[in-house]
Structure formats: structure tokens, C-alpha cells
Amino acid sequence: MDKKEKIGVYVCHCGTNIAGVVNVGEVSTWAAENLKNDGVVIARDYKFMCSSLGQELIQKDIKEQGLTRVVVAACSPHLHEATFRNACKGGGLNPYLCELVSIREQDSWVHTDKIAATEKAKAILSGGVSRVIHHEPLEPLHVPIHPATLVVGGGIAGIQAALEIANAGFPVYLVEREPSIGGHMAQFDKTFPTLDCSACILTPKMVDAGNHPNITLLTYSEVEKVDGYVGNFVATIRKRARSVNEADCTGCGICWEKCPKKVVDNVFEAGMGYRKAVYVSFPQAVPKYPVIDRENCTYYIKGTCKACEKFCPTNAINFAQEDEILNVQVGNIILATGYDLFDSRRITQYGYGRLANVFTSLEFERMSNAAGPTGGNIVLRDGKTVPKVVGIVHCVGSRDKNYNEYCSAICCMQSLKFAHLVEERTGAEVYNFYIDIRTPGKGYEEFYHRLLEEGTHFIRGKVAEISDAARLPAEEGKLIMQVEDTLTANQLRVPVDMVILSAGLEPRHDAKEVANRFGISCSADGWLIERHPKLDPVATVTEGIYIAGCVQGPKDIPNSVAQGAAAAARILGKIQQKEVALEPIRATIHEEQCSGCRICNNMCPFNAILFHEDKMVSEVNPALCQGCGTCVAACPAGAISGTGFSNEQILSQINGLLLLNIPKKEVVA
């Protein structure tokens, strides 16, 4: 070191979070004595370093002691690195000359042996001190924020987010995989606990989104690739061929009326009803244009038919239409891709798919929907028999080690809703089989009480089996639900006509690929991970990418809407600022040392490294570099350096961490 740095060391108690295990006083005294040679001129410990008083302490020392470096031993940099960098900035020190080392998450919270934890804290601190010596003053990189936003998923969460941003006057691309936006909510009949009609509250929002001048609606489309970084993403979107020219189509409906080919509708009607080969998902679909399902269309299979084309008054049918690939530039992205319903077939003892009158929750939603296959009549598979006894099974596929350990959050309320609808429409007797009744939410508990008063039966127990094997005359022709009533400890056999399985929510089957495509990660059970479970539920670790609705975890409509709005608000704030500051962590190739060996050329997945044939040297494009440092580690000539994580910084940190391992005589040398 040519000139000796003046380093200030600050050890945080974090109340008792750290001080309860680590002897913070001993650590700061040790640092003051043993790290003198590294340039430590002052070492303090303080109750809460992140408090304004703590920060002022640092700023005061910078001014009075002329500190050139600051090391704070406190919590994880992921929590407070920015806090202390700003504190240094306030004190007139370049924020990047501050190092925050974690003696909480990585020490006091995970260890019980106080002596060992204190020794470890010393090591971690001395690592930070050795490292900070080699920090360089840096300036954050400022990149402009493109005002447009990409919203992936046209369910209620995505629609809400899109509308919030669009209404604020900024462009939005709303991408939906299905032919229409609306998502699961469009399939429901009533919504709990108020029982107002789902379509009635959703449709206006869908229409708004469809007509909004700031919203480009891309249905029947999927995002295939995302490049770039916060402020400047480029999304590659495949707009699948509808075989219908949107410009000419009026949505009159003649085509699907005339279409001779009936197809079981497994998506919207959950297999309960039929659609044509040319179809709109449902009457209120947005956009109104139909699509031709090429897998089932007779023309595409046999090469003849073209009924739709013949009858279309505006010649909008276009069999030759091809997929379009669009590249859209956006500044931020919201993922609201929702959930898949748990496949009840997996619980074979419940007989779904084998026993005709076992229904899934989504099937029941369609059945109870006036616009649905049965016109709202609740009947058995035969389409006419009205059930006299109905059993509703809660927690299907949820809270179960064999399937999903988590609670799907909506099943209790959904089951109560079903029970109410059954009684209201059929007067049938209803049995709810539950593990616990969970009704956290405005008006939810009240709804539960209403059901109790309506005389619905509640049996606390997990249904073991559903079968049609009758043992008693009374069971003939019925479905028998085998269950232990855990309140009375009685084994029950309950004969019913109809069973509704209140299936849980699962991450989309392709959630992992989607996460990878957008550079974020999934939790063990497959839901996308938010930046902080409490304080930052809609952001992700990747700048500029947000999540909303069930893609983040099971939740009901109000929460999904809230998250959509929240994500939008976060993004609007960013757009307003017009630019975003990025960590100045970048790789640089030093031309005079580069031998042009091209080892690094296959190291960069962001194509930030280019090779100049003329000069026979490689170069890093800082705009594309993401700062991972892989090329820095790969360069055999040592010709690549990485700011923020330089070899000097890391190697010195290793020295510092191992200081205590060095024989005493050397420590004071």
C-alpha cells in the first residue's frame, strides 16, 4: 500500500440480535488493537448502527477523523448495504469505500457458542477491513428507464397492473397465452364472501384493458425470450396465428355458429362443455376475435371444409396466417402468470375420473355458472339428476406431505361458497370435510357463521376414501365417503350423491422455465421468489422484474388485485425517475495485457465480450456486461479486472478471514 488508509470500524449490537451472542465490545476492542497495521484508526460498537444516530456516528468520524474507509459489522448487505453507503455519502465519502460485513445472518443468528461466534465475528470483520483497503471510489451506472412495461399474464392481477400503469399514461404490453384475457376469475360464477357475480365485476376491467389506448393487447401469445436489463429489456413475443384477420373481424360469431366441428373445451369449460374448432373462449372474451384451433379444425386436418370462410361476412378468415414474432422494448416487467389447479386424479382414493359424480372445484364453478354448460343447474354427470346429498372435501392436494405442504389459502372460502350455492339451488344436504377452517379476511368469518346457520354439516377429518362399494342398503347407488370425525373419534361412512373436491393451487407447470427465462428463481415448491417476504413482496432479486398474483403464491382475488396494483405503483415510481442507478460492477479487459487467446470469448452468456480480429484483442461491452465476473476468473493472462470484486479485494479478504489462523508472532508484525 503506497498511502495508508484511515479506516473506521463500527460493530452493531442490533439490540440483542447480535450482542446477545457476539461480544461486540470485545470485537471492536480487538479490531482497534490488532488491525492497526491495516489502518484501523477507530473502532466503535453501537446499539443500532442503522439508526439515524448510528449513521450520524459514522458521518461524524468521517469528518473529524478524516476516515478514508468504513467497515460496518452488522446485518446482511442485502438488507442495509445501501443504508451505510448512503451514510458514508452523507459524510462526504464515496459510498463504495464502505464495506458491510454480516455478523448477524452469518454469525449471531446461526450460532449458539458465544466464544466461537465472537471469534468468528473478529475473523469476518478483519476480512472486511483487509478487503476495504482495496476498494476504489466508484460511481453508480445510470441507465435510462424505457417508459413501456411488459405485463405477462392476463388474469385479474395482470389486468389490474396493466390498467394502473396505462391510466397513469404509460404504454403497456399485456401478453396472454389464451385467446382471451380474464384468467381463472372469468370461469367463476360467484366470488366469496359477497357472492357478487364474478363476470359482472371482471368484464368491465377486461373491456377497459381491451380498449385502453395505452395497452397493446397480445393474446394467444407467449414471451419466448428476454434480453437486456432493467430500464432496457427487449422481449421477444410469439403472436400465434389466429387464422383470423383481426382488422376485418367484427366478432359477429357466424363462423363458430357455422363451424361443424365440436371440440371438448378442456380449458375454459374444464371439460364440462363443448366449443367449436373456431371459437372464442367465452361470450365476453376480450378481444372478441375468435381463433381457429388448428389441431381440431377439419380443414387443417383433411384440407376441406372452410365453412367459416364461406360464411364470414367480412372475409376475415385467413387459413394461411402465420405466427408473428414481435420484439418490444420495455423498461420493466411484471410476471402475473397465475397458477394451475391441482390435478385431483393424483389422489386415486378420491376416485376423480373414475367415479362419475366426483367433481373438481373448477368443474363445479362452471356448472354453477349461468353461462356454463348446465346453465347454472347443479346436476350429476347424467345432466339431469339433482343431488340430494353433497360432500365437499377441503384441502385436496394441499397441507399434505404427499402433494403440497402449503395451504392453498382459498379452498376453505371456496368450499363454503360451494356449500351455500348447493343449498341455495338444490336444497341438498351438504357435508364439509375439513382439517381446519381458515377464514382470515374481511367478511370471511362472518360468511362461515352464515353457513353454520344454514345448517351445513361440518365434519372435522381428512377423507380417507371415496368409493361406490356399498355395504348397506342405504349406500346402494351412492358414493360413500370414508372419514374419521376427529372431534368424536368415530369412523364414519357418509353416503352422498355428489362429491366436490376443493382442489388446491399449484405453480404453473412451466413456472421454472418462465423463471429462468426472466432470470429469477423459484422457491422449493415452485412459486416465484419475491425480494423480501414481508418488506418487498412484489419485487424480485432481478432489478426491473416484478411479480403479482398467484405466481408468487396462493392467494385470493382481493390480494391478487392488491399485488397487481402494488407492482404497478413500484414501476410507475421508477418510470417517473426516468433513469435507474445500477451497481457499477463491470469487467474490463486491459488491452496491453490481452493476448487475444480468446479463452474468454465463450465465457459470456450476455455476448458482452467481442474479439477484434484486427487488433487481436478481446473487449468487454460495459452496456451488456452484467458483472458476474466469470471472464475475470477465466482469463489466463490475468488481463481482465472486475470492479467491486477485484482479485486484490478477494485475496485480501481471504487473508483477513484467516488472520486468526496465523501463528501469533505474525499477527503483530
Q: Which is nearer to another protein, 551 or 561 (CB)?
A: 551
When the beta carbons of 253 and 622 are compared against another protein, the nearer one is 622
Buried b (16+ CB within 10 A) or exposed e, 480-517: bbebbeeeeeeebbbbbbbbbbbbbbbbbeebeebbeb
SS3 content of the chain, % helix, strand, coil (to 5): 35, 25, 40
Residue found by looking up cell 424505457 in the block: 146
| Cα–Cα distance measured from residue 549 to residue 508, given in angstroms and rounded to the nearest whole number | 12
Q: How far is the CB of 555 from another protein (least distance, A)?
A: 18
Q: How far is the CB of 648 from another protein (least distance, A)?
A: 10
- Which three cell numbers mark 73? 459489522
Amino acid code (one letter) for 334:
I
Residue 145 near residue 329, CB atoms below 8 Å: no
Q: At what angle do helices 647-657 and 114-132 cross, to 10 degrees?
A: 150
The minimum distance between CB 140 and another protein, in angstroms, equals 16
Compare residues 48 and 611 and give the one whose CB is closer to another protein: 611
CB of 161 to another protein, least distance (A): 24
Indicate the SS3 state at residue 333: strand
Of residues 320 and 535, the one with the C-beta less far from another protein: 535
Nearer to another protein, 168 or 597 (CB): 597
CB of 532 to another protein, least distance (A): 10
Residue (of 5, 8, 7, 11) closest to 122 by Cα position: 11
Cell numbers at residue 464, please?
380417507
Q: Which is nearer to another protein, 116 or 464 (CB)?
A: 116
Spatial CB neighbours of 16, under 8 Å, sequence gap ≥ 6:
none
Pairwise CA distance, residues 283 & 292, whole Å: 16
The residues that bridge with 330 in the sheet, in sequence order, are 233
When the beta carbons of 365 and 530 are compared against another protein, the nearer one is 530
In 3D space, the residue among 19, 5, 254 whose CA is nearest the CA of residue 136 turns out to be 5
Sign of CA dihedral 344, 349, 350, 353: positive
Instruction: Please say which residue, 65 or 516, places its beta carbon nearer to another protein.
Output: 516
Cβ(425)–Cβ(368) under 8 Å?
yes
In the complex, least distance from residue 54 CB atom to another protein, rounded to whole angstroms: 20
Between CA 168 and CA 337 the distance in angstroms is 23
Nearer to another protein, 488 or 621 (CB): 621
161 within 8 A of 547, measured Cβ to Cβ:
no
Give whichever of 287 and 507 is closer to another protein, judged by the CB atom.
507
DSSP alpha helices (H): ranges in 259-355?
A: 298-302, 307-311
CB 334 to another protein: min, Å? 19
State the minimum distance, in angstroms, from the CB of residue 103 to another protein: 10
Minimum distance of another protein from residue 604's CB (angstroms)? 9
Phi first, then psi: give them for residue 480, nearest 5 degrees. -105, 125
CB of 14 to another protein, least distance (A): 11
